[in-house]
A = this chain, B = another copy of it.
Amino acid sequence: MDNTFIRALDLKFPIIQAPMAGGATTSALVSAVSNQGALGMIGAGYLKPDDLRHQIKQVKSETNASFGVNLFVPEHYEIKEEQIEKSKRLIETYELLLNQQVGEPSLPNRETEMCIYEELIQVVLDENVPVCSFTFGIPSKETIQTFKRQGVFTIGTATNVSEAIAVESLGMDAVVVQGSEAGGHRGNFLCDSNESMIGLIALVPQVVDQVDIPVIAAGGIMDGRGLSSALCLGAEAVQMGTAFLTCKESGAHPVHQQAILLAKSEDIVTTKAFSGKDARGIENQFMKEMKEHEAVLPPFPVQNALTQNLRKLASQQKNPEFMSLWSGQGPTLAREETVEQLINRVANEAALILDRIRL
């Protein structure tokens, strides 16, 4: 099999560790993945430029292999005062439930966000990071050209065929195709998230037929069955998130890890409650009770800023009912193990399946 993706990045395995923003992708996780011959990714979506620079240096000190950074492309959004006020009042009741005096949240500002985004890009360039992926949209043509001139391998994220075509048209080197199975935030940017809830078994072949760049399948892939099946669909690699969240090297909160290890796939739903953007995770009290208000919540990243205190409080108090417990649809396949064990298990199982199964 001619796999341009793993050749381009000199990987041993066609596996990317999903760049989960919010603390899970510690340097220990990223470097352990890269040292095993898969691709470790720093989820830099919520990082400050200096913190990203620090983490990149840390990863470089721990591995000589390829690794990457993922950035959120800032989106346009409208601020409506009445939405913000309503959402604040709702969130306050939960903060009080956790017995905490409520502080005024600091709201995001698009200009500042754009500045930070540009600075993060500069850090990736300065530090000669081999791979940069983007989600929540596509970067400008100029940004891609700058990356290409410096030899950075760029990856876009798409949730349907049109978005994958947009990623390829921009000149990016590969596309992560996010199936409806995926945990965490939806990466849709050309359509609403309902129009892009497409299962990988249907989505991957349809994308592969329309683009020439390598397709990376993401969503619900937890073991060698998922990896081998994605390769049969025409993907050149898989991106796995939830499977890495429960690894010993992951920076995910132990409460989050335990919640995944105990969850059933029926418990995993989508919600806008935590961030204003659809994301998939384990249903809890906050998600259930906020469901009826979803239509009037402020958009991402405003709602995300508004729930920040609550999520922090809940984490400190180890209270899963108010934490964002992101997970894909395959939680019963998650295990507590090291990155080395996970990658070897997945790769060996996939190799065995592909050796054995015949029609």
Contact = CB atoms under 8 A, between A and B. Distances in A.
Nearest to A330: B202
Interface string A174-202: 00000111000000000100111111111
Interface in A141-199: 160-162, 179-181, 191, 194-199
Q: Chain copies in the assembly?
A: 2
A202 B220 contact: yes
Interface stretch (A48-56, A254-262, A346-354): A346-354
A356 B199 contact: no
For chain A, what secondary structure do more than half of its interface residues adopt (helix, strand, loop), or is it mixed?
helix
Contacts of A197: 180, 197
Interface stretch (A84-92, A109-117, A229-237): A229-237
Contacts of A266: 160-162, 191, 195-196, 198
Contacts of A350: 359
A199 B222 contact: no
A198 B196 CA distance: 14
Contacts of A265: 160-161, 198, 202-203, 206
B232 A353 contact: yes
A160 B354 CA distance: 26
A354 B358 contact: yes
Most-contacted residue by chain B among A180, A201, A220, A230 (CB, 10 A): A201
A97 interface: no
A304 to B, nearest CB: 23
A127 B229 CA distance: 39
Given A201-B226, A350-B359, A355-B358, 6 more contacts: A1-B357, A13-B359, A14-B359, A160-B266, A179-B199, A351-B359
Interface in A260-284: 264-266, 269
A17 interface: no
A237 to B, nearest CB: 11
A199 B196 contact: no
Interface string A196-240: 111111111110110000000101111101111111111000000
Interface string A35-46: 000000000000
A181 B226 CA distance: 16
Contacts of A204: 225
A329 interface: yes
Contacts of A181: 198-199, 201-202
13 contacts: A13-B359, A162-B264, A180-B180, A196-B266, A197-B197, A198-B265, A202-B328, A202-B329, A205-B333, A206-B265, A231-B359, A232-B232, A351-B358
